[in-house]
Amino acid sequence: MADFDTIILGAGPGGYVAAIRAAQLGQKVAVVEGRETLGGTCLNVGCIPSKAMLHATHMLHETHENFEKMGLMGAAPTVDWAKMQAYKDDVVSGNTKGIEFLFKKNKVTWLKGWGSIPAAGQVKVGDDIHTAKNIVIATGSEASTLPGITVDEKVVVTSTGALTLANPPKTMVVIGAGVIGLEMGSVYARLGTQVTVVEYLDAITPGMDAEVAKTFQRILSKQGLKFVLGAAVQSVTKTKTGATVAWKLKKNDKEDSLEADVVLVATGRKPFTTGLGLEALGVEMGPRGTVKTDAHFMTNIKGIYAIGDAIAGPMLAHKAEDEGMAVAEILAGNHGHVNYGVIPGVIYTAPEVANVGQTEEQLKAEGRAYKVGKFPFMGNARAKAIFQAEGFVKLLADKDTDRILGCHIIGPGAGDLIHEICVAMEFGASAQDLALTCHAHPTYSEAVREAALACGDGAIHA
Ligand code: NAI
């Protein structure tokens, strides 16, 4: 008899959620994790610490920008960097300990160490071999830096190093205007760092609705971030005081460079499967280092499954969590399913940016007949009251059936507002369904309803 029903490699959002659900469904489960704490990249060096830093620096920004406008007078606070770091670390440890508690509560065994798969049904951790009916690879991803660039996590950093800098730098070059670059760029810009973002494409946040991306860039520029777009970074060279980033503009091959105290390389992530022994096992791989799986998350080797950043699809914690729950159901003999058409994306800047479903550009490319309902937060009393009336809600619906196809929001609370649309899409709702739903006044969510009204006879407050 096997030691466990299921052994999961990796305790990030994919792995730990799969473990808890599998245990809830009656399985004997173990999770192999080599980090000192559970929670993977997201809890330890990703989503959670960055959100703490975003919150703290947003508060700082508010005191400087808006407090006097509201009659709140007095000296603005200064930054105690060590304390801010300690606050961030406390947030992280509270969450990682929470997972440890949940493992105990659900009787999930934590096998401490780095695991490999010597054969189907076997997981090696240190010198010990553990057996299991099923193995789930949930080993996540690592930063994908540029060729020839050496990351030291002090001067040339990935998101991991950017969270633990000795001090906020005076100047920073961010390579890549994706989610990490803009979230961490915002953190440091609010702390007074002169941030320059160098991006290969001609727009920030690739794949995002173009109108949102344009508004987003305008707002971030007002917050002090500088952008160099259409620039292919050629090299990063360490100097006495920092590093120099050299790039070539795509439109005219013009070369330029900028020296900064710190360079953040935020050019994407790649699956992390090093040391698992997948090649020796003959596990079939997909494009860009992903583990290839079928519709039930199984690899070409019976009994070996994979989920999360290690497989195809958006590298998002919540996508991994959904796959974790789905694979646990499948392993228990139930039906597990992920609706990939309804996975929201959120950028936790101020204002927040959120999206779900298709973009207008995608609908155009598909030749689909659609309608657009747009509503500016300028018409939303609550947003105006907190000085965040710059963004908008853009709802896309099928021209004939009125079914909601996508939504793109830039504005206050966008990361929470988007879920109203996720639920609506999950239920196959029409824009009119949303427009007929009473929304409390005054809330930001009224802007979502107004966008739905704009898909029909028109918004009220625009
Ligand atoms: P990303 O894929 O979002 O953006 C990378 C950017 O770097 C792209 O705009 C790309 O065009 C640019 N780039 C690539 N090579 C370049 C070069 N040589 N010169 C200039 N620019 C170059 O990747 P990012 O921001 O590193 O994030 C990695 C992953 O982590 C993403 O999948 C992201 O979704 C996820 N993540 C999600 C968060 C969230 O949901 N809030 C937060 C942080 C990360």
DSSP 350-392: SSEEEEEE--HHHHHHHT--EEEEEEEGGG-HHHHHTT--S-E
Distance 357 CA to ligand 1 centre (A): 19
| CA dist., res. 67 & res. 214, Å (int) | 28
* Sign of the dihedral through C-alpha 392, 393, 397, 399: negative
Residue with tokens 């917050």: 223
Is the previous residue joined to 442 through a cis bond, with omega within 30 degrees of 0? yes
Whether residue 232 has its Cβ less than 6 Å from ligand 1: yes
109 membership: H or E segment, kind and range: strand 109-112
Q: Which two tokens stand for residue 10?
A: 């990796």
| CA dist., res. 372 & res. 280, Å (int) | 51
pLDDT at 251: 96
Per-residue pLDDT of the chain (462 residues; tens, 9 = 90+): 899 999 999 999 999 999 999 999 999 999 999 999 999 999 999 999 999 999 999 999 999 999 999 999 999 899 999 999 999 999 999 999 999 999 999 999 999 999 999 999 999 999 999 999 999 999 999 999 999 999 999 999 999 999 999 999 999 999 999 999 999 999 999 999 999 999 999 999 999 999 999 999 999 999 999 999 999 999 999 999 999 999 999 999 999 999 999 999 999 999 999 999 999 999 999 999 999 999 999 999 999 999 999 999 999 999 999 999 999 999 999 999 999 999 999 999 999 999 999 999 999 999 999 999 999 999 999 999 999 999 999 999 999 999 999 999 999 999 999 999 999 999 999 999 999 999 999 999 999 999 999 999 999 998
Q: Residue 364 half-sphere exposure, CB side, CA atoms within 13 Å?
A: 6
The answer to whether the beta carbons of residues 137 and 114 sit under 8 Å apart is no
Distance 225 CA to ligand 1 centre (A): 17
Distance 369 CA to ligand 1 centre (A): 31
- Nearest ligand 1 atom, CA 317: 40
Burial class (CB in 10 A: 0-12, 13-18, 19+), 102: middle
Distance 146 CA to ligand 1 centre (A): 12
Is the previous residue joined to 287 through a cis bond, with omega within 30 degrees of 0? no
| CA dist., res. 270 & res. 82, Å (int) | 31
β-bridge pairing 128-137 and 141-143? unpaired
| CA dist., res. 17 & res. 32, Å (int) | 13
Whether residue 120 has its Cβ less than 6 Å from ligand 1: no
Q: Residue 41's closest CA among 316, 266, 343, 264?
A: 316
pLDDT at 318: 98
| CA dist., res. 175 & res. 197, Å (int) | 6
Whether residue 175 has its Cβ less than 6 Å from ligand 1: yes
Q: Which domains does the chain have, with CATH numbers?
A: 4-142+270-338 (3.50.50.60), 156-267 (3.50.50.60), 343-454 (3.30.390.30)
134 membership: H or E segment, kind and range: strand 128-137
pLDDT at 76: 87
The answer to whether the beta carbons of residues 32 and 113 sit under 8 Å apart is yes
pLDDT at 38: 98
DSSP type of residue 285:
B
β-bridge pairing 370-376 and 392-398? antiparallel
Per this entry, what is the length of the chain? 462
Whether residue 269 has its Cβ less than 6 Å from ligand 1: yes
Long-range contacts of 299-304 (CB under 8 A, 24+ apart): 299/137, 301/120, 302/120, 303/120, 303/121, 303/133, 303/134, 303/135, 304/117, 304/120, 304/134, 304/135, 304/137
- Nearest ligand 1 atom, CA 146: 18
Task: Please provide residue 361's backbone torsions phi and psi, each rounded to the nearest 5 degrees.
Answer: -60, -40
